[in-house]
Amino acid sequence: MQIFRLESGKDFEWLNCVNSRDYEILKCLDGTSQAKDWHPIRVRSVRPDENSLGRSSDFPWLSSSAIALRWNALKSMKDVWQKRGEILLLRDEGGEELFVFNSMTVDALDEESSVLWRFPQSGRIGRIKEPVFVEDKILGLEIFRLPYLASPTYVSQEFIDRYQACGLTGLEFFQVWPPSSG
């Protein structure tokens, strides 16, 4: 079993929250249903940097913990999204229909074996440098996050295979577990 971390694909567009306080809301998404009280977060499309084209993609980059997606990605992998979390609406300044995935969290980090950075005062995990997972807790999961604010979104090889078979664009995948030997 291999686990990968998601990142933005090179030269693809990003999304920024119009109100910077909304990033705190996105960081706190943990898979518990937000639908009842959800107010769509306003976003705008931006280029990743001044030298980038900011090409359109199925997954415009919002953050590693809050995956944004377009309608094509939503419908192509609808069963995964429904099984592993919740889809919430974003409000794009350009009027396009965009969504954010509120991923389930799984307490599957082997803290003793992982390489972590902790905040000195609180001891809270601030960054997961090299995760080690409790395998039986993630078996069969295509996509998940850990229950820490520092957790990016992780995916399995099955997720990547499906993403590629659907011809989706905008993401890159980096193996984090087990560590690649190269």
Taking only the tens place, the pLDDT of each residue in 27-59 is: 899 999 999 999 999 999 998 777 667 789 999
Cβ atoms 125, 107 nearer than 8 A:
no
pLDDT value for 181: 62
- What are the two backbone dihedrals, phi and then psi, of residue 128, each rounded to the nearest 5 degrees? -100, 100
Where are any strands of DSSP class E within 93-181? 97-103, 115-118, 125-130, 143-145, 153-156, 171-177
pLDDT value for 10: 86
DSSP-derived 3-state class of residue 135 = helix
- Neighbour count for residue 31 (Cβ, 10 Å): 17
Cβ atoms 171, 8 nearer than 8 A:
yes
pLDDT value for 39: 96
pLDDT value for 149: 82
Whole-model pTM above 0.85? yes
- What are the two backbone dihedrals, phi and then psi, of residue 14, each rounded to the nearest 5 degrees? -120, 165
pLDDT value for 41: 97
Strand partners, 170: none
- Cα–Cα distance measured from residue 149 to residue 132, given in angstroms and rounded to the nearest whole number: 17
Residue 79 token pair: 């069963």
Residue 47 token pair: 């280029």
Question: Residues of the chain whose pLDDT is less than 50?
Answer: none
């898979």: which residue's tokens?
Answer: 31
